[in-house]
A = this chain, B = another copy of it.
Amino acid sequence: MSKQAHVPPLLDLFRQFGYDGVTLSKISQATGLGKASLYHHFPGGKDEMVETVLTALEQGLEQIVLETLRSQGDAPTRLRQMCDRISKAYNDGQKPCLLASLMLGSAKEVFREQVRALLTLWIDAIATVLIEAGMEENLARQRGEDGVIAIQGALILAQGLGNPLPFQRVIQQLPHELCRPI
């Protein structure tokens, strides 16, 4: 079995408990692997596990972005497709974001660059769609930030309230909000 097979349980653990909250016992239980096996697959330990998950996440986001940029239709339609996939990745607002979880505790310095790269990739993707739709560049970049902000904030609120509805509403309104004129 390859490293990639263990990414889903690892992703779920780290996004829910954060770096410091995830123990090797939890990982062992979630993956069904003993400690020795974990260190066989991930000689770098916890850090390598996170890095593997983060890399898989980057590939997933890149694929979503690529599909969005290749897709046809007007800007709201293309952004709607992106939002649908993003929403699915967060289980319609019922699961937290790994990036936010990794910005706390011992993890924050170690994975700062990878987290920043992912956020930037995401912002740029939204901005590119808007620019292709004729939006002025600086505004489009702001809207890119606004899109990520809305999603991250909505996830926080949904988690905090224990209610995914705010997230689902934001996701549904987002394509239209991003495209509206000043």
- Name A residues whose Cβ lies closer than 8 Å to a Cβ of B: 16-21, 96-97, 99-101, 103-106, 108, 112, 115-116, 119-120, 142, 145-146, 148-154, 156-157, 159-162, 166, 169-170
Contacts and interface: CB of A to CB of B under 8 A. Distances in A.
Task: Name A's interface SS.
Answer: helix
Contacts of A115: 160
A114 to B, nearest CB: 10
Given A21-B105, A104-B104, A112-B162, A152 B145 contact: no
Nearest to A145: B166
A156 B103 contact: yes
A123 to B, nearest CB: 8
